[in-house]
């Protein structure tokens, strides 16, 4: 498995989220910001651990990222622990309900995705 593929996907998802935000599409922004985080977590798990999955389940990725890379090895700060949960909740609102994400919430989702992606890129050595 190539961690760099997942990191490239994360970067692309972040760019798409930023573009959606600029166009006022805050639901899509929140959704893609979440996927940027998810894909970056997968990249980190592949690069830094022996954990592998045939299919990367969202709950399992978060669980293993937090357990292996935040709690056990302390590779990443504890402040990143809640980002996945927060953004998946926003994605579910955006994608699966009749509610819309506000500009303020979308901007917060973008900030958190940038924070996560920057932290992961710093550790895996990819600026």
Band of the pLDDT at 107, cuts 50, 70, 90? very high
* CA contacts within 13 A on the Cβ side of 38: 19
What is 3-124's CATH number, 3.30.365.10, 1.10.3720.10, 3.40.50.11540, 1.20.120.330? 1.20.120.330
Kindly report the pTM of this predicted structure. 0.95
pLDDT(127) > 60: no
44 vs 47: CA distance, rounded Å: 5
**Residue 54 has what pLDDT?**
87
CA-to-CA distance for 66 and 80, rounded, in angstroms? 8
Among candidate residues 73, 126, 32, the one with its CA nearest the CA of residue 118:
126
Quote the mean pLDDT of the chain: 96
Quote the pLDDT of residue 27.
99
**80 touches 115 (CB < 8 A):** yes
Q: DSSP letter for 76, please.
A: S
Kindly state the DSSP code that residue 78 receives in the 8-state scheme: G
pLDDT band at 126 (very low <50, low <70, confident <90, very high): low
Reported as a single tens digit per residue, the pLDDT across 51-90 is: 998 899 999 999 999 999 999 999 999 999 999 999 999 9
The domain segmentation of the chain, as residue ranges, is: 3-124
Is residue 35 within 8 Å of residue 13, measured between CB atoms?
yes
How does DSSP assign 3-68, residue by residue? HHHHHHHHHHHHHHHHHHHHTT-HHHHHHHHHHHHHHHHHHHHHHHSS---SS--HHHHHHHIIII
């Amino acid at each position: 498995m190539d961690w760099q593929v997942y990191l490239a996907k994360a970067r692309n998802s972040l760019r798409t989220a930023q573009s959606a935000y600029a166009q006022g599409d805050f639901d899509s922004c929140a959704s893609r910001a979440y996927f940027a985080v998810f894909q970056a977590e997968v990249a980190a798990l592949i690069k830094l651990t022996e954990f592998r999955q045939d299919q990367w389940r969202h709950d399992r990725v978060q669980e293993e990222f937090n357990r292996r890379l935040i709690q056990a090895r302390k590779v990443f700060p504890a402040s990143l622990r809640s980002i996945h949960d927060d953004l998946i909740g926003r994605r579910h609102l955006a994608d699966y309900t009749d509610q819309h994400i506000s500009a303020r919430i979308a901007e917060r989702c973008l900030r958190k995705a940038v924070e996560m992606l920057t932290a992961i890129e710093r550790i895996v050595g990819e600026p």
